[in-house]
Amino acid sequence: MMMHTAVGLWVLSAVICVCSANSVSLVNKANKAFSFRLYRKLAAHADSRGKNIFFSPASVSAALAALSVGAQGATHRQLFSGLGFNRFLLTQTDVDRAFQMFLQRANNTSQDASKGTAVFVDNSFKPKPEFLQTLKQSYFADGLNVNFTKTTESADTINKYVEEKTNGKIEKLVESLDPNTVMYLISYIYYKGKWATQFDPKLTEQDDFNVDENTKVPAVMMNMEDSFNAYQDHELNVTVLKLPFNSAYSMLLMLPDIMATLENVICPNHVNKWLKAMRLRRYDVYIPKFSIKTSYNLNNVLSEMGMTNMFGGRANFRGISEGQGLAVSEVVHKAMLDVDEAGAKASAATGIGVIVESAVLNPDPVPVLKFNRPFMVIITERNTKEILFLGKIINPTI
């Protein structure tokens, strides 16, 4: 059996550029659709059943888009198709420039947001200069040299970098490295937002959270009576609440009567409809205070989404290196979300390993909106509606 050379790849990015508004719109639309396709794949997997789901579509798509810079042939077509990019309307350059704009906007819009990429390259491996140059220019990738023959030290170097970039929230992105690794590409994102109107800690008290019909857990519930933008979608039987941060971002909380009804069909069109149709009303809102962490190996999920060639002997990454046959060994993703009275902190990192082979107030009484059963959550940028984070909270205590 042929010995393959492994390449670990993590992506990080941020840049500004002048490019077609239509191209940017197409990439943005594709990214949002990808968010919910990936969510449904994660939700359907046995490992996720009965568990909280939380991830950053923005981090995963940035990592895969950066990887596609070095992909060719069917491998490139599968990456483009899996990400939802129409290769007849978008070139790789269009995609690169669009991500430059997204990343630059995120880093410039608020001091509380940080997105980026990085490439760790083995001292003995020489990727094509144009590949590294594109990652640097379009994805603002930091380039670092390591000795991957020392797998533990190399993993520690990558983990320390990610930990610093995510303010200590993602502590151990890389659990172990393939001994044949020659490159590792990472994508990270960190967000810390304060609520535009903060919850009063004095009103926070313990209450029950209904995990399912037969299971209740004690949860710490925050409370606020105020005017909120909300919408009742009678078609999906879901109540949608918007909690703005004091920046360009907002959190959407979706409380469905039946979770499966919502998560099986939710798409960007629903989110757009909710945001447009929301009206300011007075509610007595209860939201759990929680901290969750998630970890995923996305190899199977991405394969099911059509991105198969990159994991095996048919992988074509000649845009990275002509001399060695490279293939992806793993795509890993970790994320966290903290929600408290002051605001929310969210962070995520994605890794790719490559181997060779208007106001209307309700009259009294004020309606109660209590998130005391499973709900979905989105953190989105208000202008572009980019989805930074997406998930489902089934149990806020784990």
pLDDT of residue 10 exceeding 60: no
What number is the average pLDDT over the span 347-356?
Answer: 80
What number is the average pLDDT over the span 148-177?
Answer: 91
Cα(151)–Cα(12) distance, rounded to whole angstroms? 21
pLDDT of residue 4 exceeding 70: no
Average pLDDT, the chain: 88
Q: Which residue has the tokens 């909106």?
A: 369
Cα(375)–Cα(253) distance, rounded to whole angstroms? 7
CATH number for the domain formed by residue range(s) 201-290+359-393? 2.30.39.10
Q: What is the pLDDT of residues 213-248, one digit of tens each?
A: 899 999 999 999 999 999 999 999 999 999 999 888
pLDDT of residue 131 exceeding 50: yes
Cα(385)–Cα(248) distance, rounded to whole angstroms? 10
pLDDT of residue 17 exceeding 70: no
Same CATH topology for 6-194+292-355 and 201-290+359-393? no
Residue 15: predicted pLDDT? 33
Residue 267: which pLDDT band, with cuts at 50, 70 and 90?
A: very high
Say if CB 173 and CB 334 are below 8 A apart: yes
pTM of the model: 0.89
Return the minimum-mean-pLDDT range out of 110-119, 230-239, 249-258.
110-119
pLDDT over 90, % of the chain? 70
What number is the average pLDDT over the span 34-47?
Answer: 90
Residue 356: which pLDDT band, with cuts at 50, 70 and 90?
A: low
pLDDT of residue 186 exceeding 80: yes
Return the minimum-mean-pLDDT range out of 49-58, 200-209, 249-258.
49-58
What number is the average pLDDT over the span 251-268?
Answer: 95
What DSSP assignment string belongs to 280-334? Answer: EEEEEEEEEEEEEEEEEE-HHHHHHTT--GGGSTT---TTT-SSS--EEEEEEEE
**How do the domains of the chain map onto residue ranges?**
6-194+292-355, 201-290+359-393
Which stretches of the chain are DSSP H helices? 21-44, 57-68, 73-83, 92-109, 129-139, 151-165, 259-263, 268-277, 299-304
Homologous superfamily in CATH for domain 6-194+292-355: Antithrombin, subunit I, domain 2 (3.30.497.10)
Which stretches of 140-292 are DSSP H helices? 151-165, 259-263, 268-277
CA distances from 110 to 56, 102, 191, 246, 389 (A): 18, 13, 9, 10, 16
